[in-house]
Amino acid sequence: MNSKDKIVTLSSVKRNRTFVLLAILCASFLCCHGQQFQKYPFQSGKIQYIIEGSTQGIKTICWDDFGYKELIVEESETLLFGNLEKCNKTILTIGDSIFEWKENENSVLQTNNPLVDIWVENGYSSDSINIFCYKVLALLGYEHIGNEKVMGKSCDVYKGLDSVWVWKGFLLKSSLSLLETKTTCTAVRIETNIELNNDIFSIPQEYSIKQTGMVIKDQISN
């Protein structure tokens, strides 16, 4: 595998791990006992990020119903050995289903979000939220290394393949260094309890859905 392939592969791993981490950390506000789960402490909101470094662009997260519905849109460009690679990706979560698609593609990849089942099957309660989060972070290879402020908010900093800054279940910053590249994604604006158009939480009608699975559920349950 050449250097370019290594960077592309590691970048893909980083994006996948960061997305899974985002979903799991937000489970700190999960409600069970047959109730609709909550991923965020606010009913609705929007976070805007700036991506800087080897990859540059913007990312936006919108959610409603305390995160039962969530939309992540990323528009970025990465310069690799003189070649400019564009990424226009959308990730939609509705309950226990996650849908992902890219611009100019006509298919949607569907996976199952295992968080609700994991929580119920293991008997987690509001008293064990921290235990659940620490277990997942450890599973993904992250260690708590301190506290720093992002946008004036005190964040817990975790180090793994990348570094992440977490505030109340929100991923406010991430930083990844690979070989001679470095990319940082930082929140620059947060709005909470805002009005959102429900149409944004939908899949384009012209797209077909392909289903796949996730392996993380069995790992966390053990």
Confidence label for 31 from pLDDT (cuts 50, 70 and 90):
very low
Instruction: Please identify which residue in the block is written with the tokens 């960061």.
Output: 18
CA 210 from chain center: how many Å? Answer: 20
User: What is the extent of the structural domain holding 69?
Assistant: 3-221
Does residue 10 surpass a pLDDT of 50?
no
Which of 2, 83, 94, 100 lies closest to 39, judged by CA? 94
**pLDDT in the model for residue 207:** 86
* DSSP-derived secondary structure letter, 66: G
**CA–CA separation, 60 and 48 (whole Å):** 5
pLDDT in tens, 136-182: 777 788 999 999 999 999 999 999 989 999 887 788 999 998 877 88
**CA–CA separation, 143 and 138 (whole Å):** 7
Q: Is the separation of the CB atoms in 209 and 107 below 8 Å?
A: yes
pLDDT in tens, 93-104: 888 889 999 988
Residue 182: C-alpha distances to residues 37, 175, 178, 203 (Å): 35, 7, 6, 32
Q: Is the separation of the CB atoms in 21 and 171 below 8 Å?
A: yes
At 173, which CATH number?
Answer: 2.50.20.10
User: Number of folded domains in the chain?
Assistant: 1
pLDDT in tens, 78-121: 887 778 889 899 999 888 889 999 988 888 999 887 666 666 67
**CA–CA separation, 14 and 17 (whole Å):** 5
**CA–CA separation, 72 and 18 (whole Å):** 12
Q: Residue 74 is which amino acid?
A: E
Q: What is the mean pLDDT of the chain?
A: 78
**pLDDT in the model for residue 104:** 80
